[in-house]
Amino acid sequence: MITPGLARDLAALGRLGEDTSTETVLRGLTTALAAGVPGCSGGSAEYWRDRRVLTSGSHSELITLVEGERRIGEGPATEARQTGARVAVTDLLADTRWPRYAALATRWGVRSVLTVPIKVPPAQLVVGLYSVRRHAFSPQGAQSLAGMLTEQIGVAMANLWDFDEVRTDAAQLQEALAGRALIDQAKGIIMQTSGCTAEEAFEELRRISQHHQVKVADLARLLVEEHQRKNRRR
């Protein structure tokens, strides 16, 4: 079930760039499954974290199917998420476990399904593989695929979280520096108009911000913008 192309595409999910997000990783995963797993007609991924779910699919019909399964509350992905075990459906027309799900899936031409739950603390990922043929996924292939998915997706998500943390820290630092620059400009405006010292100008900013219950940086921005508007009118 694992081809060289699939192994390469899954490994590539761990290589991150500026445009990388949870959405792009999941989209890359489902596309890789649809293209790289023999007999697989499409893939889906549900990313569960803090009781919220992000759904991706190689085809829009599969997103509709996954969301429909959540709505009716039964199906292989639902069971995989609840039990933490792989769930295989060899033939939906012969399977009697989830009649409402079977009716929904066969409407889209799905005959066999394999769902693989992957724990990536603090989140859980449920990966779905779908085929228009029955008996498309062998037990041996499912086991090897599950092992590779757990390893590669775990690496990709851990890298993504580290990357997001760095991006967040950088954004917060940039915001702090920008706020500090605005406060310095606002202090300069107050010093120029009132003839006070830098310390007195900052105390005035702090007093006004507390009175109006706004952040000092936000007050400084408003003061600078007002000063710039007045200068443009002259």
HEC string for 103-142: HHHHHCCCCEEEEEEEEECCEEEEEEEEECCCCCCCHHHH
Give the C-alpha distances (Å, rounded to integers) separating 92 from 58, 130, 132, 141, 147: 20, 11, 10, 19, 25
Q: What is the DSSP letter of 58?
A: S
Distance (Å, whole) CA 67 – CA 54: 10
HSE-up of residue 129 (Cα within 13 Å, Cβ side) = 30
Write down the residue that tokens 């940086």 correspond to: 217
Q: Are 53 and 68 in contact (CB under 8 A)?
A: no
First to last CA, the chain: 73
Cα–Cα distance, 138 to 144 (Å, whole number): 10
Residue 205: both structure tokens together: 């900013």
pLDDT in tens, 179-189: 677 777 888 88
| pLDDT given for residue 170 in this prediction | 46
Which residue carries 């090897």 as its tokens?
144
The full set of domains in the chain, from first to last, is 4-166 (3.30.450.80), 172-233 (1.10.10.10)
Could you list the beta-strand ranges (E) of the chain: 42-49, 52-57, 87-89, 112-120, 123-131
Q: What is the pTM (predicted TM-score) of this model?
A: 0.67
Question: Residues 101-109: contacts with CB within 8 Å, 24+ apart?
Answer: 101/69, 101/72, 101/74, 101/75, 101/76, 104/65, 104/68, 104/69, 104/72, 104/75, 105/65, 105/75, 105/130, 108/61, 108/62, 108/64, 108/65, 109/41
Q: How many CB atoms lie within 10 A of CB 231?
A: 8
What is the Cα–Cα distance from 43 to 128, expressed in whole angstroms? Answer: 5
Position 169 scores a pLDDT of 44
Cis amide linkage into residue 121, ω under 30° from 0: no
Sign of CA dihedral 9, 14, 19, 24: positive
**What distance in Å separates the CA atoms of residue 5 and residue 2, rounded to the nearest whole number?**
8
Where the chain has pLDDT below 50, the residues are 169-171, 173
